[in-house]
């Protein structure tokens, strides 16, 4: 079962280089996160996911780790991160770090040793063929850059050599089994990294590319799952309160592999993608886009299959966005976002709010930075005020990690805090409702009542019935068993005389 504290957890994802700069160098830092913990708590978020903050050449924004046990100097020191854990815990906030287990930077000392001709402790820490001109049977590889006669496998970009967790069924002499001592040594090295941060106060990990470990794995990811179950046994024995969240987007596999939560990711054709980002064909049919002709069943067909299969194993995590996804403000206005967030934050599982989504930060058209490419537009600095650099940094504009939104109407925290009807205050209200009602938290049951196109979407969590209408017209539905107190509403809605009526772009919670 998942860690008990996740039942009432709402995560806030922080891209550290873009959140808050306290020393004027134009890059966000650990101390900036500490300074804004009261803001995070005030939102209603009681857990953090911090994107990679470890030492790195930053060819892939920190997902190319050079030292797993050292905070990148641009963010501060290890002691700063230990203090963040301490200060967050004082405020009832848990902290997950971003674990990158499938690869390292090509500058990692393990890889430098593995490149050498002489055999050593790290010779087989990565996956190498036996000859400098030998390919890797369809896997991406690099040759000609090492003293060692062999080519090495990549896990993502060229700068990210794959760590060796072995192959499920080796077919070549250079392919080692996932049960080989070298593959086991890699697994133990990652467990050692986890122990290091957990012993200093970290509460767990979001795991990058979680299904990528064992190569040529089968459809069930049997080899990779066996590794994660072994890691979970270690956590259960040594850190039973620690949580693991997977970047997998297949909860049927991930939750059986020992994870507490798995993300719904914005993969092409996924159910999650139809909610807010169904515009890949040039037309927008996103469900929460007003009058776009969306259909909630495109999401539910996949989600309910996952939910029914895994609801006793762990949690599915719905997210507003993340660092790899185009912000929802790209195509949804404030009114549409309010309804979308009301839905995301009242569904089962453990939700994630990406920094800046609570104020409707826009996706910006900016040049690529540190391997971001199109994703870079979702990684721009947090907008705290209407002042210099949007309140992100006192540094020079040209020194900022990325440019801030220079629009006259760029949303910011200070302005939205003053407006009772703002998106920010709506988010606070919805999260306060979730925390106040056990029936809206992670493990409360879900019953779908109505999904008919042209009608409200109606669902029940325990004793609470929730109904939403993302369209621009009033809709109604004969529904006898929806009565009682209105706990919260956006827009207009009522239930009386066996009839549910919802105004345009509305959401209502009844008990």
Q: For residue range 217-227, what is the model confidence (pLDDT) as tens digits?
A: 999 999 999 99
Q: What is the mean pLDDT of residues 50-75?
A: 98
* Mean confidence (pLDDT) of the chain: 97
What gap in Å lies between CA 306 and CA 112, rounded to an integer?
42
Q: What is the rounded average pLDDT of the residues 450-478?
A: 94
pLDDT at 454: 83
Q: Alpha helices, DSSP H only, in 312-412?
A: 334-344
Residue 481: predicted pLDDT = 76
For 344-368, how does the pLDDT look when each residue is reduced to its tens digit (9 = 90+)?
A: 999 999 999 999 999 999 999 999 9
pLDDT confidence band for 479 (50 / 70 / 90): confident
Q: What is the pLDDT of residues 16-49, one digit of tens each?
A: 999 999 999 999 999 999 999 999 999 999 999 9
- Cα–Cα distance list, 416 to 18, 337, 359, 409, 493 (Å): 20, 15, 7, 12, 25
Inform me whether the pLDDT recorded for 315 exceeds 90: yes
Tokens 């009839």 identify what position? 499
Q: First and final CA of the chain: distance in angstroms?
A: 29
pLDDT tens per residue across span 86-104: 999 999 999 999 999 999 9
The domain spans of the chain are 268-315, 445-510
242 has a pLDDT exceeding 70? yes
Q: φ, ψ for residue 132 (rounded to 5)?
A: -65, -20
Q: Which helix (H) or strand (E) holds 57?
A: none
Alpha helices in 6-108 (DSSP H): 30-35, 37-43, 78-90
Left (φ > 0), alpha (ψ -120 to 50) or beta: where does 411 sit?
A: beta
> What would the pLDDT profile of 256-289 be if each residue is shown by its tens digit?
999 999 999 999 889 999 999 999 888 999 999 9
Residue 1 has pLDDT above 70, yes or no: no
Instruction: Report the DSSP pairing between strands 47-50 and 11-14.
Output: parallel
Closest CA relative to residue 340, chosen from 490, 447, 443: 490
Q: Which CATH code, of 3.30.70, 1.10.3470, 2.60.40, 1.10.1760, is assigned to 445-510?
A: 2.60.40
HSE-up of residue 427 (Cα within 13 Å, Cβ side): 31
Q: How confident is the model at residue 484 (pLDDT cuts 50, 70, 90)?
A: confident
In this structure, the strands spanning 447-450 and 457-461 are antiparallel
Assess contact for 33 and 17: CB atoms under 8 A: no
């Amino acid at each position: 079962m998942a860690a008990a504290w996740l039942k009432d957890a709402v995560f806030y994802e922080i891209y550290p280089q873009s959140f808050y700069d306290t020393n004027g160098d134009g890059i966000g830092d650990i101390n900036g996160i500490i300074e804004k913990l009261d803001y995070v708590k005030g939102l209603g978020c009681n857990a953090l996911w911090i994107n990679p903050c470890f030492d790195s050449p930053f060819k892939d924004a920190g997902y190319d780790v050079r030292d797993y046990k050292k905070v990148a100097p641009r963010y501060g020191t290890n002691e700063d991160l230990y203090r963040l854990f301490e200060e967050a815990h004082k405020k009832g906030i848990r902290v997950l770090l971003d674990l990158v287990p499938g690869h390292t930077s090509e500058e990692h000392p393990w890889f430098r040793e593995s490149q050498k001709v002489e055999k050593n402790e790290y010779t087989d820490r990565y996956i190498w063929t036996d000859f400098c001109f030998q390919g890797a049977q369809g896997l991406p590889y690099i040759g000609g850059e090492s003293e060692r006669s062999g080519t090495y496998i990549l896990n993502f970009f060229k700068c990210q050599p794959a760590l060796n967790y072995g192959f499920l069924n080796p077919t070549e002499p250079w392919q080692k089994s996932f049960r080989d001592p070298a593959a086991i040594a890699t697994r133990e090295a990652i467990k050692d990294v986890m122990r290091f941060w957990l012993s200093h106060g970290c509460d767990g990990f979001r795991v990058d590319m979680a299904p990528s470990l064992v190569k040529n794995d089968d459809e069930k990811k049997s080899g990779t799952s066996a590794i994660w179950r072994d890691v979970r046994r270690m956590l259960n024995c040594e850190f039973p309160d620690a949580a693991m969240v997977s970047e997998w987007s297949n909860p049927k596999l991930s939750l059986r592999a020992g994870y507490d939560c798995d993300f719904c990711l914005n993969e092409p054709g996924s159910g999650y993608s139809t909610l807010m980002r169904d515009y890949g064909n040039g037309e927008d049919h996103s469900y929460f886009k007003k009058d776009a002709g969306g259909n909630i069943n495109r999401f539910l067909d996949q989600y309910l299959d996952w939910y029914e299969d895994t609801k006793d194993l762990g949690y599915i995590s719905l997210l507003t966005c993340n660092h790899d996804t185009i912000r929802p403000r790209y195509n949804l206005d404030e009114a549409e976002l309010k309804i979308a967030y009301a839905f995301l934050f009242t569904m089962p599982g453990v939700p994630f709010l990406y920094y800046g989504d609570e104020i409707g930060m826009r996706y910006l058209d900016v040049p690529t930075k540190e391997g971001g490419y199109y994703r870079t537009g979702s990684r721009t600095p947090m907008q705290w005020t209407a002042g210099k650099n949007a309140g992100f940094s006192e540094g020079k504009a040209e020194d900022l990690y990325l440019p801030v939104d220079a629009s006259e109407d760029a949303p910011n925290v200070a302005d939205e805090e003053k407006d009772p009807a703002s998106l920010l205050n709506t988010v606070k209200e919805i999260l306060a409702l979730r925390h106040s009602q056990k029936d809206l938290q992670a493990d409360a049951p879900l019953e779908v009542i109505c999904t008919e196109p042209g009608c409200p979407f109606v669902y029940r969590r325990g004793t609470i019935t929730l109904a939403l209408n993302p369209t621009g017209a009033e809709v109604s539905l004969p529904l006898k068993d929806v009565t009682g107190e209105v706990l919260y509403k956006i827009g207009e809605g009522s239930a009386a005389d066996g009839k549910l009526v919802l105004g345009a772009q509305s959401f209502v919670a009844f008990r």
